[in-house]
Structure 1
Amino acid sequence: ILFLSPQEVEAQQSLECIQANQIFPKKSPVLEEENMQVPFPELHGEFTEYVGRAEDAIIAMSNYRLHIKFKESVVNVPLQLIESVECRDMFQLHVTCKDCKIVRCQFTTFEQCQEWLKRLTVVVRPPARLEDLFSFAFHAWCMEFYAGEKEQHGELCRPGEHVTSWFKNEVERMGFDTQNAWRISDINSKFRLCPSYPQQLLVPAWITDKELENVAGFRSWKRFPAVVYRHLSTGAVIARCGQPEVSWWGWRNADDEHLVSSRKHLTNGGYSNGTELGDTDFESSMTNSSEVESLAIQPHKLLILDARSYAAAVANRAKGGGCECPEYYPNCEVVFMGMANIHSIRKSFQSLRFLCTQMPDPAKYVIVIILFNFGPSSALSPSCSYSTS
């Protein structure tokens, strides 16, 4: 028996159920003309704040999007996708998006252009609270709208067979031999091992889940070597993985070396456990062609592509990371691509976008492209390669 004081009873009686329309109330739109209407169907939790008329378009802004309806086209831009807004030539609103898209809207008066500039400048700023993001209002209104249809709504949102079987379809499309050479592992079910990997993974048939767990513990962010592509003609396999945690001590992992070297024996879709058949015997067993037999004397080469520079890879050893040591992986070559970090890539992207907005100058265009680190790259065609992130 639970006894409550009069104050506690009064506090419980004062509790109220707050609905979505009270947490995220909708507002009436400000119409520049009385006969105007909202030019688009609103989402749950979305409300239109302003509706106006531009020179040749209807412009509207909600708590989620900027909508511009021209005579022959419609532009919908989520507010969080807008990077900057400015007024050009007095009457033109210039909207720059984070995906390099540029939207221009012409107004008839300078005052009208300035008014819309002020409205957009306020909403494109980072939200002061996390709850100000539109996703919270959308979720709250959806839960209230479908309160009496939760079971039916859940059934409609459940992925169909074409979604759940996409992984197996891709495995079959790329010609992986799942009867002998490869197997589909569910070790990452519910993303328990690596949250940034899919739930199903393709691994060599003789590699056990226990070995995969051991390899994941040796790789950064648990990203053990996972196959992502196979060339149908050459059988070349591409896998991706995180950096090995070798540190300054040069740690090794036998299961990791076994998993990585196993890929060489699976090129061209064949099968070899890495001990019973050598590379020469394996390739000769694939076909009776004399040309292939002449090439069989050269074993498959494992090419590991490290996106970082050599200096950055070595520096990561001080943090417990590092790079693959060629002497640990037989017949292996490690190539450092020398790509810059994410901050340099962002600056390069911004420079390229700025270049695209300027008047083209053929005499300087190629030079500027090279300075911005956007240039031609050489193509590599290894029999097996890895990408280390």
Structure 2
Amino acid sequence: MDATSNQPDKMASKTASSNSLDSSSKSSSLGSKHGAENGVLRDTPFAYLEGEEDQDQKNDVTYVCPYRGPVFGALTITNYRLYFRSLPLRDQEPPLVVDVPLGVIARVEKIGGATSRGENSYGIEIFCKDMRNLRFAHKQQNHSRRTVFEKLQANAFPLSYSGKLFAFAHAAAAQPTTSNANAAAVSAGCDGWAVYEPLAELRRLGVPNDMWRATKLNESYGICDSYPAVWAVPKAASDDFLRRVAQFRSRCRLPVLSWINPRTQATITRCSQPLVGVSGKRNADDETYLSYIMEANAQSDKLTIMDARPSANAIANKAKGGGYESEDAYKNVEINFLDIHNIHVMRESLRKVKEACYPTTDDSKWQTAIDSTLWLKHIRCVLAGAVRIVDKVETMSTSVVVHCSDGWDRTAQLTALSMLLLDPYYRTVRGFEVLIEKEWLSFGHKFQQRIGHGDNKHSDADRSPVFLQFIDSVWQVSHQFSNAFEFNEHFLITIVDHLYSCRFGTFLCNTEAERVAEDLKHKTTSLWTHINSSLDQYLNPLFPSFTHGAEPVLRPIASVRAVRLWKGLYCRWNPGLCAPQHGCQRTRELLSKQDQLFKHVNELRLKLTNRSNNMQTTTRLASPMH
């Protein structure tokens, strides 16, 4: 829902504010926990979350709305959100509401100075990670801008001011009052931290078996600090051998199992680039190890390496000590380059998407503007790469090794997306949560650096929308196969929203090792707990039962004609581009009506059968005796 659109009076209804970021809030009143100083209870215009506390309030602020113009109202800043609510000029006029979690904020800038004279020329501009910018005008004479700016800086970027992210305060405040609820959630299977258990997932895939084994060699994260504690590796490889192989891979990220085809034993393994360098160094252990992976699949005498990078980039990496596998050195191996560009290209592409979608658009140049961002081209490349992996594994029964440079960005996109296409389990809500936990979180995608949680280094070159591209790619597939996914679009948007919000611990830190050290499992709440406790709103009504009729393998069309801009996400703040989305609710209503009609038809058939039986009985009774 557009946070800048007209909304019903939140003060009166005391319900949670709009969009997925604000659901399941604790209370809509400052009573009891919030602001109950001296026994005075104050009404508030939104529902406070556990641990959410007021930081600043201003009653004379103007929101410079790009669609309705300047709107006068009150601004509240808490340790979790910025909340603006207009003061209606006429009776019955619904207020305009802007509700933004502070984690969404990328940077805050002052506009205007002491000599500024134009209307609304003095204030604050806020640049957000979710495609929108917000501008608030303040009165110069009361210096209200100073405290607002300071509170925003301190609470939106707590890590830059020796503070902690809101997720910790949220979980700490919830623990005393929700222990029973948490116990109920665990017993009901809703505990998000228990969604993914590595050994259980490996057992689901049929590992261990004759060719693959599980190992806790990295349990203390001493071999590779960005890899998970549990790996699945070829049975032929000893632990000492694995240690040697790791030394020849960037960041010690040696090839380990992501997925195995239970029918053919063809596998998807992931790693980082080999350290061949300009001189083309060879490593006998690494070459032998890849042969073990190939030999673990009796269906093929070939191994395919999918290098996510453009070939020119892979060659350039040799100058930095990296590179790619030589087909001369690695026997029975073929290498393919998938032409997916690096994090810097993707960051610039998304910036152009934002310029095209918000705040204003030129209809006559809309398609040209979107095409010039190259965003859809990049999405197509990710999709096409995943489809090629699926073709090798499913059609050719060939095992595939996937890597890019360090193996935590483009590699995760490709392994996760190809697994989603190959395995119907990952298209369920629970399976998709497992997929993210496994391929993104446990294998060290650097969420903290890529998103910039809680720090004010908005120009950091490490920031990039890599995970967002994956979610976009999933949406593209779900758009082509509307009944193949148990979850709906709202589920995907909720994940993206909380990628930024810092309300949950799921996407905090860079690696599994860091999350263990921070004890996030006990000190924060999982996003999956939040989602799994209210599943109905995230379910796709068109999805068949997982055990009845799920398509085993999906092969989406990866062409420019089929890939489209996800307006429901990128354009949701622009009312001129994104109309309210009620499709899922309407589908539910129609399916419910269909069920009612089927039930009515069955009742009529039963009545007709009973009537026919009664008539036959009456006829027999009335027949003359012979």
- TM-score range relative to shorter protein: 0.5 to 0.7
SS at match of 2:100: strand
CA separation of 1:60 and 1:103: change in aligned 2, threshold 3 A: farther
Alignment counterpart, residue 201 of structure 1, candidates 222, 231, 235 = 231
**Paired position in structure 1 for 2:57:** 50
Residues 366 and 231 of structure 1: CA distance in aligned 2, closer, same or farther (over 3 Å)? farther
Larger Rg: 1
Query: Residue 305 of structure 1 contacts residue 387 of structure 1 at CA under 8 Å; is this kept in 2?
Result: yes
Q: Distance in 2 between matches of 1:311 and 1:194?
A: 28
Task: After TM superposition, give the deviation of residue 360 of structure 1 in Å.
Answer: 5.8
Paired residues, number:
319
> Helix, strand or coil: the match of 1:355?
helix
Structure 1 residues 352 and 251: alpha-carbon distance in aligned structure 2, compared to 1, 3 A threshold: same
For 1:24, the equivalent position in structure 2 comes to none
**1:220 has 2:250 as partner:** yes
**2 CA distance for matches of 1:51 and 1:302?**
64
Whichever residue aligns with residue 404 of structure 2, its letter is T
Contact kept, 8 Å, 2:302 with 2:332, in 1: the verdict is yes
Relative to structure 1, the CA distance from residue 260 to residue 123 in structure 2 (aligned partners, 3 Å threshold; closer, same or farther) is farther
* 1:95–1:103 contact (8 Å) kept in structure 2: yes
| Aligned equivalent of 1:132 | 161
**How far has the Cα of 1:244 moved from its partner?**
0.9
Q: CA deviation at 1:341?
A: 2.6
Separation of aligned partners in 1, 2:43 and 2:151:
23
Summarize deviations over 1:154-198 as a string: whole Å, max 9, x none: x99x9x89739611222233x334131211110110211111111
Residues 346/36 of structure 1: CA separation in 2 closer, same or farther (3 Å cut): same
- The match for 2:91 is none
Normalised to the residue count of structure 2, the TM-score between the two structures is 0.42
- Single out whichever of 136-145 and 207-216 deviates more from structure 2: 136-145
1:210, 1:42 → 2: CA distance?
50
Q: Does 1:188 align with 2:188?
A: no
Runs of 5+ consecutive residues of structure 2 not aligned to the other structure? 1-33, 64-70, 87-93, 112-118, 393-397, 406-626
Residue 83 (structure 1) shift: 2.7
1:275-314 aligned at under 5 Å gives the runs: 282-283=298-299, 299-314=300-315
Q: Which residue of 1 aligns with 2:100?
A: 77
What secondary structure sits across from 1:48 in the alignment?
strand
Map 1:231-250; keep pairs closer than 5 Å: 231=261, 235-250=265-280
1:65 to 2:67 alignment: no
Three-state SS of the structure 2 residue aligned to 1:304 is strand
The residue identity in structure 2 corresponding to 1:66 is L
State the Cα distance separating 1:225 from its structure 2 match. 0.7
Preserved CA contact (<8 Å) 2:51 2:172: no
TM-score (norm 1): 0.64
Aligned to 2:82, the other structure's residue is in SS state strand
Higher strand share: 1
Amino acid at match of 1:369: D
Q: Distance in 2 between matches of 1:364 and 1:74?
A: 28
Partner of 1:327, secondary structure, is coil
What secondary structure, in the 3-state scheme, does the structure 2 residue paired with 1:191 have? Answer: coil
Structure 1 residues without counterparts, runs of 5 or longer: 1-26, 268-281, 284-298
C-alpha change, 1:341 and 1:118, in structure 2 (3 Å) is farther
1:251 alignment counterpart? 281
- What whole-Å deviation, never above 9, does each CA across 1:343-366 have from its counterpart, x for those lacking one? 221111111122122426376515
Aligned residue in 2 for 1:344:
345
Q: Which residue of 1 aligns with 2:619?
A: none
1:98 equivalenced with 2:129 (yes/no): yes
**Which deviations, in whole Å up to 9, do the C-alpha atoms of 1:309-361 show, x marking residues without a partner?**
33332232232222111112222222223333322211111111221224263
- Alpha carbons of 1:349 and 1:121: their partners in 2 closer, same or farther (altered >3 Å)? farther
Superposed CA RMSD: 4.8
Q: Is the CA contact (8 Å cut-off) linking 1:228 and 1:239 kept in structure 2?
A: yes
Query: 2:330: which partner in 1?
Result: 329
Instruction: Select the structure that is richer in helix.
Output: 2
Question: How is 1:359-370 mapped onto 2 (pairs within 5 angstroms)?
Answer: 359=361, 361=363, 365=367, 368-369=370-371
Change (3 A) 1:361 1:264: farther
1:374 to 359, 376, 380: 376
Per the alignment, in what secondary structure is the counterpart of residue 247 of structure 2?
Answer: helix
SS in structure 1 of the partner of residue 279 of structure 2: coil
Please report how far the alpha carbon of residue 240 of structure 1 lies from its aligned counterpart in structure 2 after TM superposition.
1.6
Q: Is the 8 A contact 2:212 2:235 kept in 1?
A: yes
Distance 2:76 2:159 in 1: 24
For the 8 Å contact 1:326–1:334, the answer to whether it is kept is yes
SS in 1 for 2:268: strand
Match of 2:483 in 1: none
